[in-house]
């Protein structure tokens, strides 16, 4: 249950109400906003108390969450959340493009890819150093060395980075390399131990939707991050498994208007892992931004036939340039802005410790 209190309600009254709820054995969370206080009741409210709260003069509106998620519920905040990633805002009326190779494939390769991404006009660099591969015989990523290579490329180009973490034990290395945004991949969306550990890192988190996760399960995973200390969460729809086998996954754009109602978190779309086929990606990216996505994440490789993972879905740099131009148009059509990437050569904005 989420209690939206009367705007401007005195702080003592807010505290009194929280104490009353906690005296009933209910845990509560307070929205960070002060102008319009909101209290989320984290435990199930007994019916008699719920009826009382409906009549409570301090309470303007009682909102029931469709799930266990409350901190990430739309009603918990006044507006929509904006997540700054190394100085690039995700959400809040801006459209971003995250681009880069599937894997970090060496210092020279990621450097070249990062420059192509920057020249194409994308604002954030992606690339996996730790790869969750279906086959144990496939390239697993260069690990910590890959993180170093990614950081070098990021510093040179000025692009903040988003990269996947597979194991909580690797967190110190990610922090050492000043990774701007930690990605939780589809396969780990419900790895609750990892979610709890990553939530304490003081970094923004990109939470991909699980391969077969409902929106409710996805938001429950986001609630884990919020509950364990990370309010800076970006959701990423990347296709779900359906009966269809012609494409790698099925892109579920239905979630975009639905999540706008259910959560205040920014939502981006990864059409690359959804389609799995490069030529299908540009129209899906257009559709995603047109339907309200706060951005897209796409895989790009200067030499797709040499890619060590996901080559068939890698866009060429020239195709990325066209995709970025279209995202800019779609942003304008939907009343949002599109900014150029951060200045090259400038020191990256330090990742914010929260
Ligand atoms: C990735 O982004 O590199 C990735 C492995 O994606 P997903 O977790 O969506 O499969
Ligand atoms: Mn990939």
CATH number at residue 235: 3.20.20.70
Q: Is the residue at 350 inside a domain?
A: no
C-alpha span between 15 and 17 (Å, rounded): 5
Alpha helix locations (H) across 158-230? Answer: 171-176, 192-199, 215-227
Ligand 1 cavity residues, CB under 6 Å: 102, 128, 132, 164, 185-187, 208, 238, 270, 273
CA distances from 334 to 90, 240, 340 (A): 16, 26, 18
Q: Are residues 96 and 57 part of one domain?
A: no
Q: Same domain for 102 and 187?
A: yes
Given a cut of 70, whether residue 345 has pLDDT beyond it is no
Whole-angstrom CA distances from 316 to 103, 158, 311, 312 are 15, 21, 10, 11
Tell me, yes or no, whether 19 and 57 share the same domain.
Answer: yes
Residue 232 contacts by C-beta under 8 Å, 6 or more apart in sequence? 81, 83, 84, 203, 204, 205, 354
- Write the residue with the smallest CA distance to atom 10 of ligand 1: 186
Which CATH number characterizes residue 60's domain?
Answer: 3.30.70.1140
Total number of domains constituting the chain:
2
* Residue 352 lies inside a defined structural domain of this protein: no
Q: Rounded to the nearest whole angstrom, what is the distance from the C-alpha of residue 92 to the centroid of ligand 1?
A: 25
In a domain, 245, yes or no: yes
Ligand 1 centre and the CA of 249: distance in Å? 12
Write down the pLDDT at residue 148: 98
Same-domain pairing of 49 and 145? no
Classify residue 344 by its DSSP letter.
T
Give the Å distance between the CA of 81 and the centre of ligand 2: 27
Same domain, residue pair 23 and 122: no
Cα 263 to Cα 258: distance, rounded to the nearest angstrom: 9
pLDDT in tens, 44-83: 999 999 999 999 999 999 999 999 999 999 999 999 999 9
How far from 287 is each of 45, 125, 256, 329, CA to CA, in Å?
40, 22, 11, 12
What 3-state DSSP class applies to 94? strand
Residue nearest to atom 6 of ligand 1 (CA): 185
121 and 264 in a single domain? The answer is: yes
pLDDT higher than threshold 70 for residue 347: no
Distance CA 22, CA 27 (A): 6
Could you report the per-residue pLDDT of 313-338, keeping only the tens digit for each? 999 999 999 999 999 999 999 999 99
User: Ligand 1, residues 238, 309, 310: which to mutate, most atoms within 8 A of Cβ?
Assistant: 238
For ligand 1, the distance from its centroid to the CA atom of residue 112, given in whole angstroms, is 21
Q: Which of 232, 229, 223 is nearest to 73 (CA)?
A: 223
How many percent of the chain have pLDDT more than 90? 95
pLDDT at residue number 354: 47
Indicate if 227 and 307 belong to the same structural domain.
yes
Q: Is the dihedral of CA 79, 82, 292, 264 positive or negative?
A: negative
Distance (Å, rounded) from C-alpha 151 to C-alpha 154? 5
Residues shown for the chain: 354
Task: Identify which of 301, 298, 225, 289 has the alpha carbon closest to the alpha carbon of residue 263.
Answer: 225
Per-residue pLDDT, averaged over 173-185, amounts to 98
SS3 label, residue 111: helix
The vertex-295 CA angle with 156 and 253, nearest 5°, equals 145
Q: Do 282 and 150 have their domain in common?
A: yes
Q: Please check whether residue 349 lies inside any domain of the structure.
A: no
In this structure, are 111 and 55 located in the same domain?
Answer: no
Co-location of 279 and 146 in the same domain = yes
Global confidence as pTM: 0.97
182 in a domain, yes or no? yes
The answer on pLDDT for 348 being more than 80 is no
The number of the ligand 1 atom at minimal distance from the alpha carbon of 186 is: 8
Q: What is the pLDDT of residues 248-293, one digit of tens each?
A: 999 999 999 999 999 999 999 999 999 999 999 999 999 999 999 9
If asked whether residues 58 and 191 sit together in one domain, one would say no
Asked if residue 338 is part of any domain, the answer here is no
Shared domain for 158 and 294, answered yes or no, is yes
Domain of residue 202 covers 83-333
Which of 130, 182, 186, when mutated, tests ligand 1's pocket best, judged by the most ligand atoms within 8 Å of its CB?
186
Looking at the domain assignment, is residue 348 inside a domain?
no
């Amino acid at each position: 249950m989420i209690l939206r209190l009367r705007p401007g309600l005195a702080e003592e009254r807010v505290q009194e109400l929280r104490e009353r709820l906690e005296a009933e054995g209910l845990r509560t969370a307070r929205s960070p906003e002060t102008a319009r206080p909101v209290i989320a009741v984290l435990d199930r409210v007994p019916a008699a108390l719920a009826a009382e709260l409906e009549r409570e003069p301090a309470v303007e509106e009682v909102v029931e969450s469709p799930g266990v998620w409350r901190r990430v519920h739309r009603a918990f905040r006044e507006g929509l959340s904006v997540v700054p990633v190394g100085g690039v805002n995700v959400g809040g009326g801006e459209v971003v493009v995250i681009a880069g190779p599937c894997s970090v494939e060496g210092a020279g390769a990621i450097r070249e890819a990062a420059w192509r991404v920057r020249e194409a006009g994308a604002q954030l660099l992606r690339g996996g150093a730790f790869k969750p591969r279906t086959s144990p015989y496939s390239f697993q990523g260069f690990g910590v060395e890959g993180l170093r290579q990614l950081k070098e490329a990021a510093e040179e180009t000025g692009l903040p980075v988003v990269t996947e973490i597979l194991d909580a034990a690797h967190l110190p290395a990610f922090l050492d390399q000043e990774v701007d945004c930690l990605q939780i991949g589809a396969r780990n969306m419900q790895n609750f131990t990892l979610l709890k550990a990553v939530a304490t890192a003081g970094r923004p988190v990109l939470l991909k939707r699980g391969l077969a996760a409902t929106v409710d399960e996805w938001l429950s995973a986001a609630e884990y991050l919020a509950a364990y200390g990370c309010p800076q969460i970006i959701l990423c729809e990347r296709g779900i498994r359906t009966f269809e086998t012609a494409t790698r996954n099925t892109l579920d754009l239905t979630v975009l208007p639905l999540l706008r109602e259910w959560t205040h978190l920014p939502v981006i779309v990864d059409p690359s892992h959804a389609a799995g086929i490069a030529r299908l990606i540009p129209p899906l990216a257009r559709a995603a931004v047109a339907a309200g996505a706060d951005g897209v994440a796409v895989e790009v490789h200067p030499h797709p036939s040499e890619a060590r993972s996901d080559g068939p879905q890698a866009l060429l740099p020239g195709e990325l340039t066209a995709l970025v131009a279209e995202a800019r148009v779609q942003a304008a059509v939907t009343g949002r802005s599109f900014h150029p990437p951060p200045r090259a050569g400038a020191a990256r904005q330090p990742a914010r410790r929260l």
